[in-house]
Amino acid sequence: MQRQSSLTIRTSPTTERYLEILSMEEDSKNVSLSEPQLALMRVLWSKPNSSVSEVVDAMRQTRPLAHTTIATMLSRLEKRGLVTTIKEGRQLIYRASYSEAEIQKSMVSELLSSVFMGNARALLSHLVSEEEIKEEDLEQIRQRLLAHSSKGKTHG
């Protein structure tokens, strides 16, 4: 007769957060958000722990939408794992599950793979040729590229 063992693995909150980010990358690969959804997420990034009414008020100036529309959007974002809720009294309080930087990275990856078929050079060429880029932004890009290429030389 074989004995079944019970193994419990405990992880720290930091490890759990890291695993969430990895699962976001594996499960949803790349996040795609509509302009209204992105506007809503920006509200949650700037005002975490917001009720539907607070989100409606914050969005009223830039993108006025009905209370029910925003409630539906929040519910759908929650189902996708992009928003979490906490019940506070009779209302739900919403918070973004991922940082703005994490979502930006995911959306750029989606753009890169779907529109530019993974060709980063084509994406950068397009950005440089089609957009007006401030000189200080170009300098930051140059610095990042230099840092990236020097990393490759030390590791490769």
Q: What is the pLDDT of residue 132?
A: 77
Find out whether 71 and 107 touch, Cβ atoms under 8 Å.
no
Give the integer Cα–Cα distance in Å for 43 and 45: 5
For the stretch 75-108, pLDDT in tens is: 999 999 999 999 999 999 999 999 999 999 999 9
- Residue 50 is classified by DSSP as B
pLDDT at 103: 95
Residue 128: per-residue pLDDT: 78
pTM: predicted TM-score of the whole model, two decimal places: 0.69
What letter represents residue 56's amino acid?
V
d(CA 138, CA 96): 31
Tell me, which fold does domain 14-96 have in CATH? Answer: Arc Repressor Mutant, subunit A (1.10.10)
Task: Answer whether 62's CB lies under 8 Å from 39's CB.
Answer: yes
Q: What share of the chain is helix, strand, coil (3-state, %, to 5)?
A: 60, 10, 30
Report which residue type is found at 74: L
pLDDT-flagged residues of the chain (< 50): 5, 7-8, 25-28, 156
Domain boundaries, the chain: 14-96, 119-155
Taking the C-alpha atoms of residue 58 and residue 44, their distance in angstroms, rounded to an integer, is 10
Give 148's strand partners: none
- Report the pLDDT value the prediction gives residue 29, as an integer from 0 to 100: 56
